[in-house]
Amino acid sequence: MKNNHQFLYIFIILVVIISCSTLKSSTKNEQIAYQKNSSYKPRIINTTDLGADPDDEQSMVRQLVSANEYDIEGLIVATGCWKKTQKTTAMLDKIVDTYTDVYPNLKAHAKGFPTPEYLKSISVMGQTGYGMSDIGAGKDSPGSNLIIASVDKDDPRPVWVMGWGGMNTIAQAIWNVKESRTPEELKKFLSKLRLYDVLGQDDSGAWIAKNFPEVFYIRATGVYGWQPTKNGVYYQENIQNHGPLGAVYPDTKYAPEGDTPAFMHVYPNGLNDPDQIDQGGWGGRFSFTKKAAIRSMSEVPKIKEDGETRYDPYYMYGNTSEGSEAIKKWHNGYNNDFAARMDWSVTSNYKDANHHPIAILNGDKSRQVLETIASVGEIIKLNANGSIDPDDNALAYSWFFYKEPSSYINEITIENNTSSLASFKIPNDAVGKNIHIILELHDDGNPNLYAYRRLIINVK
Positions that interact with Ca ion (CB under 5 A): 49, 56, 164-165, 259, 354-355, 389, 391, 393, 443, 445
In the complex with Ca ion, the residue whose CB is nearer, 197 or 259, is 259
- DSSP secondary structure letter of residue 237: I
φ/ψ of residue 255, rounded to 5:
-140, 150
Longest dimension (CA), the chain: 86
Identity of the residue, 201 or 279, whose beta carbon is nearer to Ca ion in the bound complex:
201
Nearer to Ca ion, 57 or 273 (CB): 57
Q: In sequence order, what are the beta bridge partners of 456?
A: 371, 436
Task: Name the H helices within 232-380.
Answer: 233-235, 243-247, 261-264, 299-303, 325-328, 331-344
In the complex with Ca ion, the residue whose CB is nearer, 58 or 176, is: 58
Written as one letter, the residue type at 164 is: W
- The CB-of-126 to Ca ion minimum distance in angstroms stands at 13
CB of 414 to Ca ion, least distance (A): 25
- Give me the count of residues in the chain: 460
Q: How far apart are CB 42 and Ca ion at their closest, in Å? A: 20
Smallest separation (angstroms) from Ca ion to the CB of 355: 5
* Residue 62 or 436 having the CB closest to Ca ion: 62
Contacts of 346 (CB under 8 A, 6+ apart): 102, 105, 242, 243, 246
> What element of type H or E holds 398?
strand 395-401
Alpha-carbon distance 74 to 263, whole Å? 13
- Judged by beta carbon, residue 263 or residue 408, the one nearer Ca ion is 263
The CA–CA distances, whole Å, from 384 to 233, 309, 358, 362, 417 equal 35, 51, 10, 6, 11
In the complex, the smallest distance separating the C-beta of residue 361 from Ca ion, rounded to whole angstroms, is: 18
Considering beta carbons, is residue 299 or 391 the nearer one to Ca ion?
Answer: 391
Minimum distance, C-beta of residue 60 to Ca ion, in the bound complex (Å): 10
H helices of 306-400, in order, are 325-328, 331-344
- Residue 31: CB minimum distance to Ca ion, A: 30
Cα-Cα end-to-end distance for the chain:
40
Three-state DSSP class for residue 403: coil
Kindly state the smallest distance separating residue 164's Cβ from Ca ion, in Å.
4
273 vs 389, beta carbon nearer Ca ion = 389
The answer to whether 406 and 435 have CB atoms below 8 angstroms apart is: yes
- Do residues 456 and 434 make contact, with C-beta atoms less than 8 angstroms apart? yes
